[in-house]
Structure 1
Amino acid sequence: MAKIKPLMLLPPVLFVGLAALFYFGNTREDRNTLPSAREGQVAPAVVLTQLGDDAPFSDATLRDGEVKLLNYWASWCAPCRAEHPLLEELQAEGIPIYGVNYRDDPGRAMAFLDELGNPFTAMGADGAGRMALDWGLYGVPETYVIAGDGTVMLRFAGPLTEAVMENRIRPAMAEAAAR
Structure 2
Amino acid sequence: MNTPVPNGGARRDKARWLPLAVFAALAVLLAAGVWLSRNPDREKLPSPLIGKPAPHFSLPVLHEAGRLMSTQDLRGAPYLLNVWGSWCPACRDEHPVLTRFAETKRVRVVGFNWKDEHADALRWLEEFGNPYFVVVADYEGKAAIDWGIYGAPETFLVDAQGVVRWKFVGPLTDKVIRDELIPQLDRLGPAPRGQAR
TM-score class, shorter: 0.7 to 0.9
Q: After superposition, what is the alpha-carbon deviation per residue over 1:109-149, rounded to whole angstroms, capped at 9, x for unaligned?
A: 00000001111101111011111000011210000011111
More strand by share: 2
Q: What SS class does the counterpart of residue 49 from structure 1 fall into?
A: strand
Q: Percent identity?
A: 38
Of residues 92, 95, 106, the one that matches 1:84 is 95
Q: Which runs of 5+ in 1 are unaligned?
A: 1-29
Of residues 140, 157, 160, the one that matches 1:148 is 160
Q: Give yes or no for the alignment of 1:100 onto 2:101.
A: no
TM-score scaled by length of structure 1: 0.77
Q: Which has the larger radius of gyration?
A: 2
Q: What SS class does the counterpart of residue 69 from structure 2 fall into?
A: coil
When structure 1 is superposed on structure 2, of 45-54 and 145-154 the one drifting more is: 45-54
Q: Which residue identity does 1:166 align to in structure 2?
A: R
1:63: which partner in 2? Answer: 75
Is the 8 Å Cα contact of residues 43 and 170 (structure 2) preserved in structure 1? no
Deviation of residue 47 (structure 1)? 2.5
2:145: which partner in 1? Answer: 133
Q: Give yes or no for the alignment of 1:35 onto 2:46.
A: yes
Deviation of residue 177 (structure 1)? 2.8
Counterpart Cα distance in 1 of 2:180 and 2:84: 19
Counterpart Cα distance in 1 of 2:162 and 2:42: 28
Q: Give yes or no for the alignment of 1:72 onto 2:72.
A: no
Is the 8 Å Cα contact of residues 74 and 103 (structure 1) preserved in structure 2? yes
2:18: which partner in 1? Answer: none
Of residues 172, 175, 178, the one that matches 2:187 is 175
Deviation of residue 50 (structure 1)? 3.1
RMSD: 1.8
1:105-120 to 2 correspondences below 5 Å: 105-120=117-132
Aligned length: 149
Of residues 49, 53, 60, the one that matches 1:49 is 60
Q: Which runs of 5+ in 2 are unaligned?
A: 1-40, 191-197
Q: Which residue identity does 1:67 align to in structure 2?
A: P
